[in-house]
Amino acid sequence: MGKARKLSAEDLKFVVNEKGASGDRKKAQVNGEFFKSLRGILNILVPGVWTREAGFLTLVAGTLITRSMCDIWMIHNGTLIEGSIISKDMNGFLKHLVELMLAMPAVSLACVINIRGVLCGCCDGGWAVWLL
């Protein structure tokens, strides 16, 4: 094997600015071709509507949507707690703090389930395996 050739700054400029045979760069776009390719991939991965794969995809999508909604609620509630502290509103502070504490078991349950670990098969998943 020969030595690796070191690129000069001018060579590097050429490589970075190099264009395709037609002279234009191919850019990633979300257009009809993208959706056609995506549909082809989904047809391979999810063979039908009432299959295990479709249920699994729905479970993952539902989990992500629920997690996002919980994140938004937690941020909103934290903001309300901070607002109560700044305005020195003891009743509002206690109300929002109790709401946060009541939500903690649900947040803890989501951590225990660890759906990501179950989905990728990289951990046991404990009692949450029955979801699959």
Residue extents of the structural domains in the chain: 52-131
CA distances from 114 to 17, 60, 98, 117 (A): 45, 12, 25, 6
Return the closest-CA partner of residue 80 out of 64, 97, 67, 63.
97
Does residue 108 surpass a pLDDT of 80?
A: no
DSSP H helices in the chain:
9-17, 32-45, 52-86, 90-113, 115-120
Does residue 93 surpass a pLDDT of 90?
A: yes
Does residue 131 surpass a pLDDT of 50?
A: no
pLDDT digits (tens, 9 = 90+) for 1-42: 455 566 565 554 544 455 555 556 666 678 888 889 888 988
For 125, the 3-state DSSP assignment is coil
Q: How confident is the model at residue 99 (pLDDT cuts 50, 70, 90)?
A: very high
CA distances from 72 to 65, 68, 79 (A): 11, 6, 11
pLDDT digits (tens, 9 = 90+) for 34-89: 889 888 988 888 888 899 988 988 988 888 888 888 888 889 999 999 999 999 99
Q: Is residue 46 packed enough to be buried (19+ CB in 10 Å), middle (13-18) or exposed (0-12)? A: middle
